[in-house]
């Protein structure tokens, strides 16, 4: 009988390997719980953003985790509480049964920590499970979600899958692949004077980061932070001394470019911060959010100075006018709005652009607008007339970057292509698929 029981136990262990805190529980807690029980918010006096904090009771004084005893563990009890007003997570759907079962199994197996020192942040553990090598080759072209020109305009940085690729603008040839980056790249900025690259990205609802890539360190990315959600946008100040990034955790983070040190975290929005842009003099930051607002924050203090609330849908992007006195912003399925940066009042009547516009950038001659219909339109803002319509993509335009020479700019598309345009010619000068295909 003993031999039979041993065989059954061995078979069950093989079929159901032990639950890993690092690989299974930490990502679950990071995704579902840290927003309310982390560094920024500790409801009920309880934090679980590290293994050490996970085991410390909050205001209830009830033990969150009792090894081998899920029924006595307050964390598990609140997950299965039948009263929706008391159940965790509050004001949200109950966790899926399979996720609750995973937590229960982990506790019954002893609530073991296999993630190293107990004080390591969950976001750090999650990062280690999500940073994977870039594919040696791509089976197909992937959407181009971010672009940036080098300061001399000779190279173009393009988003990849766990990587950023660098391409020669004149020939369309691949120059370099830079790995060690998040799964999804959402934004790229090239320092205005050096070869330093800033990149944001992450894995949805699990982890995000802001990275600096320095050619002097053999292009090894330096991750400046670990976020519980993706980072969406990054920008250097005009003089290159500061870096700003907006994220899905509703924050804007300011960094010292030279040291890579985080200087300030501000929370001006109630939802994802989807784009950030410095004013021409670098003193203010413009941010567009899924909360339908666009705000202007003073860089030196982190204080919000102006709020524009004229959009009825999620704000996608916003840019300053060349003199910084007005801003142009764009929301989902919305016209372009033009408003005063000092008061937040509408400067002029919003204007419609066909094709469901999604991206904005100033170029020589006017405003470049990339749309979901795959077309790029150059608009003269004084009378909202279309000067040019540029054809080169077969799917939505997902990114725009402008060279230091404003008559040259590039667009990336969901179809995986990059077009480098010369406004003076009215057509693309170079077009290539920006995925390493073999």
Task: Provide the pLDDT for residue 291.
Answer: 97
Q: 315 CB contacts (<8 Å, ≥6 apart)? A: 274, 275, 288, 289, 290, 291, 292, 293, 294, 329, 330, 331
pLDDT reading at 6 higher than 70: no
Task: Provide the pLDDT for residue 43.
Answer: 87
Specify whether the CB–CB gap between 187 and 276 falls below 8 A. Answer: no
Task: Provide the pLDDT for residue 2.
Answer: 42
Name the DSSP class of 22. I
pLDDT tens figures, 104-159: 999 999 999 999 999 998 988 988 889 999 999 999 999 999 999 999 999 999 99
pLDDT reading at 347 higher than 80: no
What are the residue ranges spanned by the domains of the chain? 2-130, 147-433
Helix segments in 258-365, DSSP class H:
none
Task: Provide the pLDDT for residue 15.
Answer: 61
> What is the CATH number assigned to the segment(s) 147-433?
2.130.10.10
pLDDT tens figures, 16-68: 789 999 999 998 998 888 878 887 778 889 998 899 999 999 998 899 999 99
Distances in whole angstroms, Cα of residue 57 to Cα of each of 82, 232, 334, 394, 438: 22, 34, 48, 56, 54
Confidence of residue 416 (pLDDT cuts 50, 70, 90): very high
pLDDT reading at 361 higher than 60: yes
Task: Provide the pLDDT for residue 428.
Answer: 92
How many CB atoms within 10 Å of residue 82? 7
Specify whether the CB–CB gap between 229 and 205 falls below 8 A. Answer: yes
DSSP string, 81-140: -SSTTTSSSTTSPPPPHHHHHHHHHHHHTT----SSSTTSBHHHHHHHHH--PPPSS-SS
pTM for the model stands at 0.86
pLDDT tens figures, 262-281: 999 999 999 999 999 999 99
């Amino acid at each position: 009988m003993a031999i039979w029981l041993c065989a059954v136990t061995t078979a069950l262990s093989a079929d159901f390997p032990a639950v890993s805190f690092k690989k299974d529980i930490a990502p679950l807690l990071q995704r579902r719980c840290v927003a309310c029980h982390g560094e920024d918010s500790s409801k009920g006096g309880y934090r679980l953003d590290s293994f050490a904090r996970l085991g410390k009771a909050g205001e209830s004084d009830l033990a969150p985790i009792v090894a081998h005893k899920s029924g006595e563990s307050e964390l598990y009890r609140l997950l299965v509480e039948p009263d929706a007003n008391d159940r965790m997570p509050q004001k949200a759907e109950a966790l899926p049964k399979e996720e609750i079962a995973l937590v229960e199994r982990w506790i019954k197996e002893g609530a073991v920590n296999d993630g190293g020192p107990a004080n390591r942040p969950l976001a750090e553990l999650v990062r280690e499970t999500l940073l994977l090598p870039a594919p040696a080759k791509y089976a197909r072209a992937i959407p181009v979600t971010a672009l940036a020109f080098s300061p001399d305009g000779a190279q173009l940085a393009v988003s990849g899958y766990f990587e950023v690729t660098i391409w020669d603008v004149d020939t369309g040839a691949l120059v370099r692949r830079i790995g060690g980056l998040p799964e999804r790249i959402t934004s790229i900025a090239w320092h205005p004077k050096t070869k330093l690259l800033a990149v944001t990205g992450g894995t949805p609802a699990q982890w995000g980061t802001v990275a600096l890539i320095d050619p002097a360190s053999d292009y090894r990315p330096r991750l400046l932070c670990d976020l519980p959600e993706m980072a969406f946008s990054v920008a250097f100040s005009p003089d290159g001394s500061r870096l700003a990034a907006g994220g899905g955790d509703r924050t804007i983070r300011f960094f010292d470019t030279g040291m890579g040190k985080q200087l300030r975290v501000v929370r001006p929005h109630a939802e994802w911060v989807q784009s950030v842009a410095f004013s021409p003099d670098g003193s203010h930051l413009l941010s567009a959010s899924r909360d339908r607002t666009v705000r202007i924050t003073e860089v030196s203090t982190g204080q919000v100075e102006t709020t524009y609330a004229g959009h009825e849908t999620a704000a996608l992007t916003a840019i300053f006018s060349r003199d910084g006195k007005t801003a142009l912003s764009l929301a989902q399925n919305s016209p372009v709005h033009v408003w005063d940066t000092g008061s937040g009042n509408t400067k002029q009547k919003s204007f419609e652009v066909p094709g469901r516009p999604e991206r904005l950038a100033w170029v020589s001659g006017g405003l470049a607008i990339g749309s979901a219909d795959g077309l790029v339109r150059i608009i003269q803002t004084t009378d909202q007339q279309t000067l040019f319509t540029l054809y080169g993509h077969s799917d939505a335009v997902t990114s725009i970057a402008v060279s230091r020479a404003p008559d040259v700019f590039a667009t990336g598309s969901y179809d995986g292509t990059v077009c480098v345009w010369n406004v003076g010619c009215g057509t693309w000068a170079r077009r290539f698929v920006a995925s390493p295909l073999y």
